[in-house]
Structure 1
Amino acid sequence: MMAVGTAVIGSLQFGYNTGVINAPQNIIESFYNETWSSRFSEPIPQTVLTALWSLSVAIFSIGGMFGSFSVGLFVNRFGRKNSMLMANVLAFIAALFMGLSKLAASFEMLIVGRFVVGLYCGLSTGFVPMYVEEISPTSLRGALGTLHQLGVVIGILMAQVFGVCKRCAVCCVLLSTVSPSVQLFVVERVGRRPLHLVGLMGMAVSAVFLTVAMALLDQLSWMSYVSIAAIFSFVAFFEIGPGPIPWFIVAELFSQGPRPSAIAVAGLSNWSANFLVGIGFPYVEQLCGPYVFIIFIVLLLGFFTFTYFKVPETKGRTFDEISAGFRQSAGHGPDKYSAPEEFNTLRGDDPDL
């Protein structure tokens, strides 16, 4: 438990740096304006200020994309534990860049610091779930795997509280913190697949109610309460399944040899989606108005269908059993390859795997 708790500190850093940028927006923009004025003796143009702010937010996800895709390079060369220790150096470097940016009157240092901490968080989102999964006993693998998401939402909560953000935002994060705590006790009873399916369908239904509420808000004032309830419901269902489960189920589906590469691809997909949503959502919202969440509804239903037909249950199953299930579902029969033979095929020529 001590090893798992220590590893999850990296997840807390990820959550904190995800949520911390929003609260001090006005302070950061004032700093940008002061720095620009001292350099060029004129106020910063609004378009440039908006671009710098957007870059400050988006550069975190870009760093995360690079970091997550580099997970395999680190763990295959240095191992899981040493990779986590080495990644911490990036957190200190990022803190120095961001902490000294005002003293140096350089908004470039702040942006570089955001990139470096994104790089650190991208690495952590691969290292932590992999390490926790590999040191956990099979009977507790799912429960301990949810601690990664719990660390993330606790970090976001800390960022919101320190930033003294709006009450609704803090309530959402509190709900996000409670849900993984509950899942910690039910994931090994119910299983990954049912929780993921319930979460996806619950998010889709919540998004339907949210879309209806937003469309009718001008006609019916009480729809504002429906929209708030739908938002809370959406967050709760996200934390039931789609929030924590994808982080550790990838590690369960692959043997030790290809596992780092699989987690790297999964992490890159996650960070790329975060970047695209962060950059594109304001423009899509302007185009679609209150119907913007229909896009999410369609995607969620697609994810639900794929999970229902293709994703196996991994609760209490070893990799050999999961692999045999894949072979059976593919129509090859259970005896075409033995589990050790398949592992040797995946391992290739590396004798250390």
Structure 2
Amino acid sequence: MTVTGTLALSVFTAVLGSLEFGYNIGVINAPQKIIEEDYNATWVHRYGQPIPTGTLTSLWSLSVAIFSIGGMLSSFCVGFISEWLGRRKAMLINNLFAFIGGSLMGLSKLCRSFEMMILGRFIIGAYCGLASGLTPMYVGEIAPTSLRGALGTLHQLAIVTGILIAQILGLESLLGSEDLWPVLLGLTVVPTVLQMSLLPFCPESPRFLYIIRCQEHHAKSGLRRLTGRQEVGDMLAEMKEEKRRMDMERKVSIAELFRSPLYRQPVVISIMLQLSQQLSGINAIFYYSTSIFMKAGVQSPVYATIGAGVVNCAFTVVSLFLVERMGRRTLHMLGLAGMCICAVIMTMALALLDSVPWMSYISMLSIFGFVAFFEVGPGPIPWFFVDLCGPYVFLIFAALLLFFLIFTFFRVPETRGKTFDQISANFHQRSAGGMMDMDMDMDMDKPSTELDYLGEESIN
């Protein structure tokens, strides 16, 4: 399958939202002390006295945490907004949040208003919550089945690239200075303007147009633009079959998703895979990295941390090339296994650091290895985990990673080269097989003809 110019443009334009998501995750950390000093200056200007320590801590904590609150609230609206406006138009309108949020943050110092900073962080968080759902949805729907895994990885690559760009620009010698930190925060409007300029040239998702809007003519036109082929009947036939199956499915409630054997397995797998990302300990690695690099004698540990960010990006690119060759399940297990081993080695190295100084270098290698395996497998989901166990926190992560590795091996099916409909049918088959086995266990005394009938009904 060749990558057409329209497909490349559409994917690039979409993942600009992921780049902005990553940038806003990483941008707030480097200039923390300088921004706190500015909050104090604003307080002195208003009230004629320094800001109380507790108030400063509360304001800074709110500035950081409100980003996640905005993202959490907006993420609940992804499904509704994407079906109401369409994938492309939803991304286009979502950029208004980024433009407003970036402008508020960039002008907060000039206006002497930490309220503008906090409100800007909330609005940019709302943008990122929508973008984190809309971007992979759009890319997954326009990507050919044979390239869906590789192109889907670009969402993660853009996030870690955004984080790395924020780390680099946040250096005090660049934009992380007392005068330029508003520019650092306001730069988030640049990818916003670029995405708004390019989206009108990108086609709407053909899958959305056909399955949701029932616009076959427009869906066919979009497929022709994305594939460069005039004959797209085979792809349209896949969507027709998927629509037929979806029309046959009745609407279910959230509670039924967990009660029904038909839906329980994919839901549980989705939750477990997300937990394997969020509980992997990657942010604890970055939390410990600065002190480890300092003990190793690195003069500027911030550059070593940026080096870890480079490894982050590099191995996301490696994953991009491996995902369609090795499969998602295999790479996920490889990443979890590698991270588990690195976590154990890191625990030993950190525990022996005071008595065996050269163990700091083993710790450094373990950090880079952990980050590399993370990007090969689970992928970056930013989350900060603070634990009182010191270096032994990584034993917790090692145990969790081992558990997720075993779960992936036994319960997660491979999806490489399969359409959305085939993936869904595979789950239905597994659920039906489980129900059939349950019926057979309960009814072993029934005649074989009746058992055959029950099995056939379960599968159908």
C-alpha distance in 2 between matches for 1:115 and 1:138: 36
Is 1:31 paired with 2:167? no
How far off its partner does 1:122 sit? 1.0
From 323, 328, 347, the equivalent of 1:192 is 328
Is 1:96 paired with 2:103? yes
C-alpha distance in 1 between matches for 2:49 and 2:399: 48
How far off its partner does 1:228 sit? 0.8
C-alpha distance after superposition, 1:149-169 (max 9, x if no partner): 111111111111111271111
Aligned residue for 1:254? none
C-alpha distance in 1 between matches for 2:58 and 2:351: 31
1:1-353 → structure 2 map (5 Å cutoff): 1-164=8-171, 166-243=302-379, 274=382, 277-278=383-384, 281-282=385-386, 284=387, 287-330=388-431, 331=433, 332=435, 336=457
C-alpha distance in 2 between matches for 1:230 and 1:216: 14
Paired residue secondary structure (2:109): coil
Gap regions ≥5 residues in structure 2:
1-7, 173-301, 437-454
Letter in 2 for 1:91: A
C-alpha distance after superposition, 1:39-94 (max 9, x if no partner): 22211122222222222122111222112222112112111111101110000010
Gap regions ≥5 residues in structure 1:
245-269, 342-353
Provide the alpha-carbon RMSD of the alignment. 1.9
C-alpha distance in 2 between matches for 1:242 and 1:158: 22
C-alpha distance in 1 between matches for 2:134 and 2:361: 41
Q: Residues 134 and 228 of structure 1: is their aligned pair in 2 closer, same or farther, counting only changes over 3 Å? A: same
Specify the structure having the higher radius of gyration (Cα): 2
C-alpha distance in 2 between matches for 1:6 and 1:336: 46
Paired residue secondary structure (1:21): coil
How far off its partner does 1:224 sit? 0.7
Paired residue secondary structure (1:314): coil
Runs of 4+ in 1 over 4 A off after TM superposition: 332-338
Letter in 2 for 1:157: L
Normalising by the residue count of structure 1, what TM-score does the alignment of the two structures yield? 0.82
Identity %: 58
Letter in 2 for 1:236: A
C-alpha distance after superposition, 1:252-294 (max 9, x if no partner): xxxxxxxxxxxxxxxxxx6xxx5xx53xx34x2xx21221222
Bigger RCO of structures 1 and 2 (CA < 8 A, at least 6 apart): 1
| Count of equivalent residues | 304
Normalising by the residue count of structure 2, what TM-score does the alignment of the two structures yield? 0.63
Paired residue secondary structure (1:65): helix
C-alpha distance in 1 between matches for 2:147 and 2:457: 31
C-alpha distance after superposition, 1:91-112 (max 9, x if no partner): 0010121112112211111011
Paired residue secondary structure (1:293): helix
C-alpha distance in 2 between matches for 1:135 and 1:144: 10
C-alpha distance in 2 between matches for 1:337 and 1:140: 34
C-alpha distance in 1 between matches for 2:94 and 2:457: 42
